[in-house]
Structure 1
Amino acid sequence: MFSVGDAVVYETQGVCKISEITSMTAGKVTREYYVLKPVYEDRSTVYVPVDNDAVVNSRMRFVFTVDEVNTIIKNVSDGNAMEWITDDAKRKEFCVNTLKKGDRAELMRLIGMLYSRQSELKEQKKHFHIADERYMKEAEKLINEEFAYVLGIDRKEVQNYIAKNIN
């Protein structure tokens, strides 16, 4: 169970702090909710039912530790490159599922695949697909927010930290 003050990652909302646990009534049913405040989006609030194990267990987790972040970076640098998915529909499905799942190691591999393709196309003076750009930005946002929070650095410094620790 989570407690007030815990830092968690909630699905695609990114890093959140549990600001309180409150009771809310809908109809005749009163339930307890975690009140999540996204760390990097102060105008948002997310309510997660405490008693809904399916939601809590699949969509919410504690943020990583520094050691876990460094392990993810190391594992990605150990030659786990992802091949480009040429079929647009399959690539879209893969990207959407990877973003939804939120597995940070898979997101890192997704970013690597998209970045490699973007660089390739740039050399050929061709345009990167707008959808692929959007997937890359969303994956980078999730990675940058959690890694910055855990490492105590600015989100803009995360890519440099990763690059420095990959080599």
Structure 2
Amino acid sequence: MFTVGDTVFYSSNGVCVIEDIQERTFWGEKKLYYILRSTHNEALKLYYPVETAQSQLTEIVSKKKAELILEQFKNPPDPWNERMQERQHSYQKILKSNNHIQIAKMVNTILRRKIELESQEKKLSSGDQQLLNQVLPILYKELAVSLDISVEVVIKEVEQLIQNH
């Protein structure tokens, strides 16, 4: 069980702080809920049940794990699937897995594809760009919190790793 003040990772909502734990009634059922505040969007207040079969709340990755995640940006991209629907389906499965290493590999592949296309004066598909817009702020924020650095430093680090490898 988490406590008030803990920083947690909440699936697609990213890094959140537990502001309170309260009993609330939703859909006619009274339960104990974590009251979460998103660090990505401070106006966003979330309620998450304290007791649930498969919690989507996890601890923030450790500094060591964050460093392993960053290492993924040194690797060449995974093979690009030209079939957009298959690619998007595969990416959604990766996101649902909450596996930070796999998410970083996916982001690495998409970012490298974007750079390749831009060198040919082309653009990434809107679906792939939308996915980056959704995932990057969350990934960068968690890495920043875990490594105790700013998001801007994380962004520069990722850009340098991709450029140098």
TM class, shorter-length? 0.7 to 0.9
Tell me the TM-score normalised to structure 1 length: 0.86
Shift in alpha-carbon separation, 1:77–1:156, aligned structure 2, 3 A: closer
- How much does 1:161 deviate? 2.7
Aligned to 1:15: 15
CA contact (8 A) 2:40 2:138 kept: no
Tell me the TM-score normalised to structure 2 length: 0.87
For 1:78 and 1:53, locate their aligned partners in 2 and report how far apart those are by CA, in whole Å. Answer: 37
Q: Which string of whole-angstrom CA distances, capped at 9 and with x for unpartnered residues, describes residues 97-136 of structure 1?
A: 2233332211211111112211222222222211111112
| Range with greater deviation from structure 2 (141-150 or 99-108) | 99-108
Q: Given the alignment of the two structures, is residue 128 of structure 1 paired with residue 124 of structure 2, yes or no? A: yes
Q: Given the alignment of the two structures, is residue 60 of structure 1 paired with residue 49 of structure 2, yes or no? A: no
- How much does 1:154 deviate? 2.2
CA contact (8 A) 2:15 2:141 kept: yes
CA contact (8 A) 1:33 1:49 kept: yes
For 1:27 and 1:130, locate their aligned partners in 2 and report how far apart those are by CA, in whole Å. Answer: 36
Shift in alpha-carbon separation, 1:155–1:69, aligned structure 2, 3 A: same
Q: Given the alignment of the two structures, is residue 49 of structure 1 paired with residue 46 of structure 2, yes or no? A: no
For 1:27 and 1:131, locate their aligned partners in 2 and report how far apart those are by CA, in whole Å. Answer: 34
Shift in alpha-carbon separation, 1:161–1:117, aligned structure 2, 3 A: closer
- How much does 1:146 deviate? 0.4
Shift in alpha-carbon separation, 1:28–1:131, aligned structure 2, 3 A: closer
Aligned to 1:72: 69
SS in 1 for 2:36: strand
CA RMSD of aligned residues (A): 2.1
How many residue pairs are counted as aligned between the two chains?
A: 163
- How much does 1:67 deviate? 1.4
For 1:35 and 1:17, locate their aligned partners in 2 and report how far apart those are by CA, in whole Å. Answer: 8
Unaligned runs of 5+ residues in structure 1 are: none
SS in 2 for 1:53: coil
- How much does 1:140 deviate? 1.1
Shift in alpha-carbon separation, 1:164–1:26, aligned structure 2, 3 A: closer
Aligned to 1:118: 114
- Amino-acid identity (%): 23
CA contact (8 A) 1:11 1:101 kept: no
